[in-house]
Amino acid sequence: MTSELFAPLALRSGQVLGNRIAKAAMEESMAGDGQLPDAPLPALYRRWAEGGAGLLITGNVMVHAEALTGPAGVVLDEHAPLEPFAAWAEAAKSGGGAVWMQINHPGRQVASGMPGVVWGPSDLAVSLGRHSSRFGRPTAMTERQIEDTVTRYAVTARRAEEAGFDGVEIHAAHGYLLSQFLSPLVNTRTDRWGGPLENRARMLLDIVRAVRGAVSPSFAVAVKLNSADFQRGGFDADDARQVIGMLAPLGVDLVELSGGSYESPAMTGRPADDRTQAREAYFLDLAQDLVETSPIPLMLTGGITRRDTAERVIGSGVAVVGMGTALAVTPDLPARWRDGREAESRMEPVTWSDKALASAASMAKVRHAMRRVARGGRVRPGTHPALALVCEQRQQRRALRRYRTWLSAERGATGN
């Protein structure tokens, strides 16, 4: 008898995933010249494509060249050449699975040394205690800037389809722009974009409509949503339930549930809430509540490393299991599970008392692993987090110099 984990899943768009295992988005920070995906990214995704997952979701691709989560972020806007993206899509589909591009805008979560813009629904900065200066001070978006951003998402989605991707995932979690609009703590607007949840969700809903209208009916459209922000008075599971209901009539194929933000980094395994499980399937308790009422298939991501955990998630009614770190360490983990094997090693969470620094180090370790996979090397999950963080900072400085030069040239070419 075939495990439900390896059963196909038919989506609303007509797309069929070969199994219920997805490589969840992880920010690769591997953009080359021009903020484009060069050789390492296709090489990395070819390894994952060979690993047996039914779906690969890319790390976030930015819709606005002047607003990046980091200086090595990939940008797909109206000016970007499509050939590098086509090579990326082809590599990711080489194993027979589907590939979706995660599309995103950082909003206020932009490092303070970055050029460009720092926008938010309001002018409230990211609060990280003594680390707060790591992020720029945001300005509240004008209505025109909001509408232009909606258009940018649609342009990026249309061009992703032209490049050969099978779908997009709109990132509305982890404290990025759309998550900021959803949060009553961050969004203090008093116009039609703020106040009650239906207003705070307006930008996300407008983007979904614009994207769905810009792509083919067979092209998948997904949304990544926090099951909760894990901040008192913030976006919670009941809000998530209502937003899923609002998305249902708009042609959304899948909603991925995660949680947290830089201010409360539950997504890296350091939740600030007792409703998450410490080591495996962080957000399963919240997801089980949402599965009962969701009219859209749900995907759950967060700390899943073993097949029995994945089977338990699927058994709870969740449609797709998403894995990030586990596949950065063991790219062929789905194929191993099919053969009755497990990973030989796992990456231990960073347990420093400084949660913001621990979160940054965790992400640095994952990116270090992904770079080794891209080079065809064997991952060493025991790399010291401090070493990974130092290497990451060195690479980010180089990428920042390159990004500054490129953005200045782009502004000159477009007259901005």
- pLDDT of res. 377: 87
Residue 415 is predicted with a pLDDT of: 59
Taking the C-alpha atoms of residue 362 and residue 382, their distance in angstroms, rounded to an integer, is 12
Residue 281 has what pLDDT?
A: 62
Helix (H, G, I), strand (E, B) or coil at 336: helix
Q: What pLDDT score was predicted for residue 302?
A: 83
Percent of the chain with pLDDT over 70: 92
Q: Which of 28-32, 79-83, 139-143, 302-306 has the lowest mean pLDDT?
A: 302-306
Amino acid sitting at position 166: D
**Closest-CA residue to 347 (of 364, 326, 363):** 326
pLDDT for 401 equals 96
Per DSSP bridges, beta strands 16-17 and 9-10 are antiparallel
CB 103 within 8 A of CB 49: no
Is-contact 111 136, C-beta < 8 A? yes
Domain boundaries defined on the chain: 4-347
Task: Locate all alpha helices (DSSP H) within 283-354, ordered by sequence.
Answer: 284-291, 307-315, 325-329, 333-338
Q: Where are the extended beta strands (E) located within 173-297? A: 220-226, 254-258
In this structure, the number of other CB atoms found within 10 A of the CB of residue 239 comes to 21
Model pLDDT for residues 354-387, shown as the tens digit of each residue: 888 898 899 999 999 999 999 998 888 889 999 9
Average pLDDT over residues 84-100: 98
CB 231 within 8 A of CB 263: yes
DSSP 355: H
**Whole-number average pLDDT of the chain:** 91
Strand ranges (E), 208-306 = 220-226, 254-258, 298-301
pLDDT at residue 271, rounded to an integer? 42
Report DSSP state, residue 124. Answer: P
Give the dihedral of Cα atoms 290, 296, 297, 300; nearest 10 deg.
Answer: -40
Distance CA 335, CA 341 (A): 8
Residue 377: CB partners within 8 Å, gap ≥ 6? none
How does pLDDT run across 188-201, given as a tens digit for each residue?
Answer: 999 999 999 999 99
CA–CA distance, 287 with 281 (Å, rounded to integer): 10
The CA distances from residue 356 to 29, 202, 225, 335, in Å, are 19, 30, 21, 34
Find the helix packing angle between 385-414 and 355-374, rounded to 10°. Answer: 80
268 pLDDT more than 90? no
Question: Rounded mean pLDDT of 114-129?
Answer: 92
Here the tokens at position 38 are 């060069």
Q: Find tokens 């209901």 and name the residue.
A: 245
φ/ψ of 105, rounded to 5, equals -135, 130
Percent of the chain with pLDDT over 90: 78
pTM of the model: 0.93
pLDDT at residue number 276: 39
CATH class as words, domain 4-347:
alpha beta
Whether 273 has a pLDDT exceeding 60, the answer reads no
Of 314, 292, 219, 326, give the one whose Cα is nearest residue 8. Answer: 314
| Position 206 confidence tier, pLDDT thresholds 50, 70, 90 | very high
Residue 323: phi and psi, rounded to 5, are: -130, 140
- pLDDT surpassing 70 at residue 266: no
Q: Mean per-residue pLDDT for 144-165?
A: 98
Contact, 400 vs 113, CB < 8 A?
Answer: yes
Cα gap 295→386, rounded to integer Å? 44
* Count of other CB atoms within 10 angstroms of residue 45: 28
Judge whether residue 274 has pLDDT over 60.
no
* Residue 21 · residue 53 · CB < 8 Å: yes
Q: Is the pLDDT of residue 414 over 90?
A: no
Strand partners, 128: none
**Averaged pLDDT for residues 264-272:** 46
- Is residue 5 pLDDT above 80, yes or no? yes
Q: What is the mean pLDDT of residues 93-105?
A: 98
Write out 156-195 in H/E/C secondary structure. HHHHHHHHCCCEEEEEECCCCHHHHHHCCCCCCCCCCCCC
Alpha-carbon distance of 87 to 67, in angstroms, equals 24
Answer for the pair 160, 222: CB distance below 8 angstroms, yes or no.
no
Q: What is the pLDDT of residues 276-298, one digit of tens each?
A: 344 466 677 878 889 999 999 99
